[in-house]
């Protein structure tokens, strides 16, 4: 298993596949996520990038930060194009036009994955095209101003569901992308977070090597629209895991394995504090919403642990 130093040489060395020159926000963890995932491939990688934060900041014409074959796509069709690239590659290989093996990576934010692009993703998984889909999840449509998405958590205030006299923010719990993807009976699905580089790298390796499609959902705190000090991105990522707000686990051929079990679970308030999207929850009249969120998190964690212990397939 490589060390953090080994991974750093791959992500920032001469062979790095995403290089300097992008325009992502100060404190954004997307570059760290994408660099780590790309470094986990031992083969050339073709990247299919849905519209979103990563796309608009990494290829501002006439410049690009990509040092690997890359294509910009719409919100809707990253997975569909990945399926097409995989089919074309197999056809070319059958005809002897290409010889070397490659990996195919489709990338999208939560808007282009949980919502707009989900139909294409589900279809590609059902057809078992061999590629990995990476969702960098900042829990909203951050590229266009913090609108609510299917990944936005309960209680969060957004520009489309703002907290105020008529609403406390989003009233629904977020979609569980990992379990939805696993329900397609694909070989590998993983949930990771930007601060845990080794865990992310190992999951990306498994995803690239899977015998069929793979999905990787990675939490990426948004310093701009969560509105915290840009120096605290990794701290918020870590707090999300330590509070069980964002468990680190994987599903291999339907079997659940939890990768990190906090020795002492911290209360969800520790994660919520300091984020503008949750500040209204700390008002006296909204305290019950934090308790409701804590109960949902605890119930989900108990269910996840039971799935691991019983070995029941998702």
Q: What is the dihedral of CA 38, 41, 47, 49, to 10 degrees?
A: -50
Q: Do 139 and 154 contact (CB within 8 A), yes or no?
A: no
pLDDT of res. 184: 98
Confidence of residue 205 (pLDDT cuts 50, 70, 90): very high
> In this model, does residue 253 exceed pLDDT 90?
yes
> In this model, does residue 232 exceed pLDDT 90?
yes
Confidence of residue 268 (pLDDT cuts 50, 70, 90): very high
pLDDT of res. 156: 97
Alpha carbon separation from 97 to 68, 87, 88, 91 (Å, rounded):
20, 14, 11, 9
pLDDT of res. 46: 98
pLDDT of res. 226: 96
pLDDT of res. 209: 98
pLDDT of res. 11: 84
CATH of domain 4-310: 3.40.50.970
pLDDT of res. 239: 98
> In this model, does residue 12 exceed pLDDT 90?
no
- Mean pLDDT of all residues in 80-97: 97
To the nearest 10 degrees (0 to 180), the angle between helices 4-12 and 197-209 is 70
Q: Kindly report the pTM of this predicted structure.
A: 0.96
pLDDT of res. 181: 98
E strand or H helix at 46 = strand 45-50
pLDDT of res. 15: 78
Cis peptide bond prior to 62, omega within 30° of 0: yes
Of all residues in the chain, the percent with pLDDT exceeding 90 is: 92
E strand or H helix at 72 = strand 70-73
Domain definitions of the chain by residue range = 4-310
> In this model, does residue 1 exceed pLDDT 80?
no
- Mean pLDDT of all residues in 181-186: 98
Q: Specify the residue for token string 């829990």.
A: 139
């Amino acid at each position: 298993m490589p060390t953090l130093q080994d991974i750093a040489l791959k992500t920032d060395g001469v062979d790095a596949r995403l290089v300097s020159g992008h325009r992502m926000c100060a404190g954004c963890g997307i570059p760290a996520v994408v660099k780590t995932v790309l470094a986990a491939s031992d083969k050339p990688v073709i990247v299919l990038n849905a519209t979103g934060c990563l796309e608009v900041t990494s290829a501002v014409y006439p410049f690009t930060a990509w040092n690997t074959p890359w294509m910009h796509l719409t919100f809707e069709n990253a997975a569909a194009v990945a399926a097409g690239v995989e089919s074309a590659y197999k056809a070319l290989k059958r005809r002897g036009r290409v010889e070397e093996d490659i990996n195919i990576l489709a990338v999208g934010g939560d808007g282009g994955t949980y919502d707009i692009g989900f139909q294409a993703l589900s279809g590609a998984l059902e057809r078992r095209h061999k590629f990995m889909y990476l969702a960098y999840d900042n829990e909203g449509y951050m590229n266009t101003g913090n609108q609510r998405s299917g990944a936005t958590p309960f209680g969060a205030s957004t520009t489309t569901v703002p907290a105020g006299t008529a609403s406390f923010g989003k009233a629904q719990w977020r979609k569980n992308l990992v379990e939805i993807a696993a329900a397609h009976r694909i070989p590998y699905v993983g949930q990771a977070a930007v601060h845990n580089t080794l865990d992310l790298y190992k999951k990306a390796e498994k995803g690239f090597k899977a015998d069929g499609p793979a999905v990787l959902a990675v939490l990426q705190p948004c310093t701009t629209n969560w509105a915290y000090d840009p120096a605290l991105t990794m701290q918020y990522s870590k707090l999300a895991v330590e509070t069980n707000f964002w468990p680190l686990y994987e599903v291999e051929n339907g079997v659940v394995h939890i990768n990190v079990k906090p020795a002492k679970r911290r209360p969800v308030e520790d994660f919520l504090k300091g984020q503008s999207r949750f500040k209204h929850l700390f008002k006296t009249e909204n305290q019950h919403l934090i308790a409701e969120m804590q109960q949902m998190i605890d119930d989900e964690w108990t269910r996840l642990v039971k799935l691991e212990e019983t070995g029941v397939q998702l």
